Amino acid sequence: MITGSIKLLNITGSSGDAFGKANKNPYTTNYDSTFISPIGEIPRNMTSEEPRLTGEFSGSTIAVTKSGELNRTNLFKSQQQPTILFNVRAFNQANIIPLACDITLEVTSLGEYLIFTPIGIDNGAGSIGITYEDISDKGETNKERELTYPFEGGDPKPQSIQAAAIIQWGEFIGWFPDANDTHDPKSEDALLILTPEMVYKEKHAWYARFKKSPPNSGGKILTLQVCNANGEKNDNFVIIINGVEIGLLDLSHGEPEGGLFIASNNNELTTDDVSSGFVCPMELITVTHFDPIHLTKGRNRIEMINAQDNGNGNLGVFEIAYYDINPDGSNILINKEPVASLTFDPLNGGDEVLYFDLD
């Protein structure tokens, strides 16, 4: 039997003639380098054109991290440690090897932590609440600013952690691991539950984002009104809507008096005894106007901050209502459309917070 074969080509790995053809060798990637070790400088010279394949050319640097976090997914990495003793040997980058010295340090753990922060257009639009699964005192559980969740220094990895986004006004968008992200929430549920795996593998900072947008009023005018129908003296209050002061509610005279707060920049708007829909005469009602931009779709918050204790207790109702503007040009509000009735009864000299929703 006679057989035969034909040689076609030989293939070997190479740099693809990127540095010149074989034997001509016009470019070299060899270089001399050193690095500092605890015993001084150690040479690390490239002599066999290794950089042609490894890509580690002279002057190369490797970006290890851009965020400064080296061990985000390291399950063994932890801020919490028991009190320990350890030795540190110091040396410097001098050509002459310095004398070594031992330094003994005692370290006390400050504990693990998570940070939850409410963010939005308005400061105070939302707050954060934390649920602890144990009974130990870990500090504040509700806050309108950054809230830290600490772990006990000697504890094992925590159980599931629950953080709640609490709307003060506006709407809740979602939980984000990045303060600058507005479009891709990790969760749209107001209750964020972090398992131990999430705590140790993901970021330690979480952001609850809130938004404020105009309500759909349909061209109607929203009002906030108090009518002290029983004529009993009450305290005086500064009225704040969604973090903005809009006026004073004076109930100090012991008359069927009150206040009408109109969400309009038209300071001529008012109503009359026929159209108001409440029993207090308009001549005893103080009319105040405020910019409707301070209202929001979703939750709205009324703060009644005590301005004067009149010593007779407090009991009344804040009525929220829409009105139409009379088309006859008289600037009279007509056709009352109730939205909510909110009872307030703070103690003498006390404050009150009320909430209502708008579509």
User: Tokens standing for 236?
Assistant: 């005086």
Q: What mean pLDDT do residues 171-189 have?
A: 87
- Report the pLDDT value the prediction gives residue 153, as an integer from 0 to 100: 44
Listed range (52-56, 225-229, 348-352) with the worst mean pLDDT: 52-56
What distance in Å separates the CA atoms of residue 240 and residue 222, rounded to the nearest whole number? Answer: 15
- Report the pLDDT value the prediction gives residue 304, as an integer from 0 to 100: 96
- 32, pLDDT greater than 90: no
Q: Where are the beta strands (DSSP E) in 65-144?
A: 84-89, 102-107, 113-119, 126-131, 142-143
Going by pLDDT thresholds of 50, 70 and 90, the confidence category of residue 307 is very high
What distance in Å separates the CA atoms of residue 62 and residue 59, rounded to the nearest whole number? Answer: 10
Q: Phi, psi at residue 27, to the nearest 5°? A: -120, 140
Q: Concatenated DSSP letters for 5-43?
A: -----------TTTT-STTT------B--EEEETTEEEE
What is the percent of the chain where pLDDT is above 90? 38
Q: What CA dihedral angle connects 56, 57, 58 and 64, to 10 degrees?
A: -40
Across the chain, mean pLDDT equals 80
pLDDT digits (tens, 9 = 90+) for 218-262: 999 999 999 988 889 999 999 999 999 999 999 999 899 999 999
Going by pLDDT thresholds of 50, 70 and 90, the confidence category of residue 69 is low
User: Tokens standing for 41?
Assistant: 């400088």
Question: In the chain, where are the structural domains located?
Answer: 15-62, 71-212, 221-358
- 310, pLDDT greater than 90: yes
Going by pLDDT thresholds of 50, 70 and 90, the confidence category of residue 45 is confident
Q: What mean pLDDT do residues 327-343 have?
A: 95
* Cβ atoms 119, 210 nearer than 8 A: yes
Going by pLDDT thresholds of 50, 70 and 90, the confidence category of residue 299 is very high
* Cβ atoms 78, 199 nearer than 8 A: no
- Report the pLDDT value the prediction gives residue 129, as an integer from 0 to 100: 81
- 136, pLDDT greater than 60: no
- 359, pLDDT greater than 60: yes
- Report the pLDDT value the prediction gives residue 229, as an integer from 0 to 100: 86
- 320, pLDDT greater than 60: yes
* Cβ atoms 263, 288 nearer than 8 A: no
Query: What is the per-residue burial (b if ≥16 Cβ within 10 Å, else e) of 286-305?
Result: ebbbbeeebbbbbbbbbbbe
What distance in Å separates the CA atoms of residue 198 and residue 190, rounded to the nearest whole number? Answer: 17
- Report the pLDDT value the prediction gives residue 80, as an integer from 0 to 100: 47
pLDDT digits (tens, 9 = 90+) for 267-292: 999 999 999 998 899 999 999 999 99
Bridge partner residues of 341 (DSSP)? 319
What distance in Å separates the CA atoms of residue 195 and residue 250, rounded to the nearest whole number? Answer: 51
- Among 24, 298, 69, 313, smallest CA distance to 177 is for 69
Angle of CA points 155, 158, 161, to nearest 5°: 145
Bridge partner residues of 223 (DSSP)? 262, 321
- Choose between 327 and 119: higher pLDDT: 327
Runs of H (alpha helix) within the chain: 51-54, 196-201
User: Tokens standing for 206?
Assistant: 């979480």
- Choose between 68 and 136: higher pLDDT: 68
* Cβ atoms 293, 212 nearer than 8 A: no
- 323, pLDDT greater than 70: yes
pTM (whole model) above 0.75: no
Pairing of strands 171-176, 244-249: unpaired
